[in-house]
A and B are shown apart, each in its own frame.
Chain A
Amino acid sequence: MTGALAARDLSVRYETQHGSVHALRHVDIEAHPGEVIGIVGESGCGKSTLVTALANLLPANARIDGCISWNGVDLAKLDAHRQRLLRGDEIALVSQDPMTAFNPVLTIGDQLVDFQHHRKDIGRARKRARIAAMLGRVGISDAERRMQSYPHELSGGMRQRVAIAAALLTDPGLLIADEPTTALDVTMEAQIIHLLRELRREYNGIIIVVSHHLGVIAELCDRVYVMYAGEVVEGGEVDAIFHDARHPYTQALLACDPARFHERLDRLPTIPGVLPNLTAPPCGCVYAPRCDRAFAPCGTIAPPLVKLSASHVARCHAVTP
């Protein structure tokens, strides 16, 4: 099933004992069938909150404002039951850590059969056959035997393949991969990226890849949104972001990518300063306290979203089209 996804002015806050945490503020993103969208940013920038909101999996203390439109339906206004019916049917999530993503006391086959529960039209034997075929497709040999295995009997890379297979089994229109390679070693990471690249050729839904790893994003995605402190600060085609970044934060982030340094460094470069406190976000630009190009209005006035080209936008006072 295919359809278009758009978040409009999406804000999410978590109500805690220490006040509201404004984890996501006024986020606008969109994605079209066949596109691979990257979401990048440092830890705590709100990328997980964003995809959790898209997957309708926010915890009970989360309050959501704005709109998430999926095939013309506003996900933010659906009741819990309708949301559950979309999860694992039209929207699938490959979660962060393959080591803990599966139930340790049920076999892989048992869980993957359950995950197809929306398919009332096919029986258990047919579901098992689909699993075997899908496991083969994601590069797992002797699929029949692997279905009898428990998660702890599989390696991390294999579990991540199983997680991707599980998501694809549901034939989703929106596939969200939240840090799909973060918990893996470099070899496994390369294999999983290779697998995802293979998949995108045959898959015509939307794929959203979340990562703090710029290389992963550059290799997989068509368009990228850069997030900082709960806001999308820049968005555009992969080429535009990686070669013509305009927002000071994106530029700083790219300058810190270890992959850009060929000679050995004693110290890796970092962006000075820390993330703002999200219980009381600054009223001006969120990045202003760490920005080397900040000037008068940055501290007091929230910067506008500046349109740089058809798809390239940046939220900054200092950029001009």
Chain B
Amino acid sequence: MLAYAVKRIGLGLLILVLVMVAMYAAVFLVPGDPASVALGPRATPELKRLLIERMGLDQPVWWQIVEFFRNALTGNLGYDVWSNRPVSTLVMEALPNTLILGLTALAVALLIGVPLGCLSVMRRGTLADAVIGVLSVGVIAVPSFVVAIYSLLLFAVTLRWLPAIGAGEAGDIASQARALVLPAAAIALGWIGYIARMVRASMMEVMGEPHIRTARSFGLPEWKIVSKYALRIAIIPTISLVAVGLGSILSSAVFVEAVFARPGIGKLITDAVNTRNYPVVMGTVLIMTAIYVSITIAADLLIARLDPRVRDVFRG
């Protein structure tokens, strides 16, 4: 198990390096000079040179990458070109908002999606199963920003139940929670459908396996068979799906943050790209990739923990 964890973490670090190399290559390959784009057509050559130096763009690309990682290891992700504030501070300010949004959405999706999937299996072939099936496909088909816009119109503008924009008053948990409801629901809705479908599909397969018949032959109650004997196996594909899907949850957070004008990573990265603020883009991408890679590793370790057969494959 330990060797497996070390191997997965090593692989994760390699992915981080590759992503950053690709990012630098993209900046290098994109035509046009970032400094003149950023400063506009009327900038003096003097000013341009200064900006190029500050962004470190006069150095060879490989050197820029080495410097970036050398600094990143000491916790220095560079400085915002415009405000000169450390990128790490900017990211750390924005990150909690996005993580709270993404994780709340995910938790809601799991808490509703998994039981719905189980219910579908226990009532298979009935009206309840059919309704859950149709609704699942329905909510998967609607993009989260559409849900965001319409729920904003309905609950914030027309009914005035919930705030329309922002992340709530600082220090006021109740107001922050109220501000979280609509954006989290917008992201979670589609995922409830995904997870319910996924759980139902893998559960149906597991329920046909002989060991379920064994559990039945000992007269175990159906809820126990579903929740203990089948779910522990059937949840595994869902964990993989959710881990991979977290990337897409975080990217839908970008849209949803835009709709609800919530401060967060999404807003940070959109603004940075628009102003060619490369240090901020690079720093943010590094942190997001690191989060994504850690979640994938955590999911793999969780699967190994749930399924002894997977554990043994990596033990040898």
Contact = CB atoms under 8 A, between A and B. Distances in A.
A201 B260 CA distance: 76
Contacts of B271: none
Interface in B202-256: 209-211, 213-221, 224, 228-229, 232-233
Nearest to A81: B221
B211 A101 contact: yes
B219 A86 contact: yes
B210 A117 contact: no
B207 to A, nearest CB: 11
B312 interface: yes
Interface residues of A, number: 31
A7 interface: no
B1 to A, nearest CB: 14
B121 to A, nearest CB: 13
Contacts of A97: 210
Given A88-B218, A170-B218, A95 B309 contact: no
A77 interface: no
B27 interface: no
Contacts of A96: 210
A88 B213 contact: no
Given A101-B211, A101-B214, A84 B221 contact: yes
A89 B219 contact: yes
B307 interface: yes
| Interface size range of chain B in the complex | 20 to 34
Contacts, number: 79
Contacts of A57: 213, 216-217
Q: Which of A88, A97, A163 lies at the interface centre, i.e. has the most chain B CB atoms within 10 A of its CB?
A: A88
Q: Which secondary structure dominates where chain B touches chain A?
A: helix
Given A57-B213, A152-B312, A104 B307 contact: yes
B229 A87 contact: no
A85 interface: yes
A196 interface: no
A200 to B, nearest CB: 21
B210 A87 contact: no
Contacts of B309: 104-105, 150, 152
Contacts of A102: 211, 214
A118 interface: yes
A150 B311 CA distance: 11
A208 interface: no
Contact of B218 (A87, A104, A106, A152): A87
Given A105-B233, A105-B306, A152-B309, A100 B217 contact: no
A205 to B, nearest CB: 16
Contacts of B224: 114, 117
B217 A88 contact: yes
A215 to B, nearest CB: 25
A92 B214 contact: no
Interface of B: 209-211, 213-221, 224, 228-229, 232-233, 306-309, 312
8 contacts: A88-B219, A100-B210, A103-B215, A104-B211, A105-B308, A114-B220, A163-B214, A170-B218
Given A95-B213, A111-B215, 4 more contacts: A101-B210, A104-B309, A105-B307, A166-B218
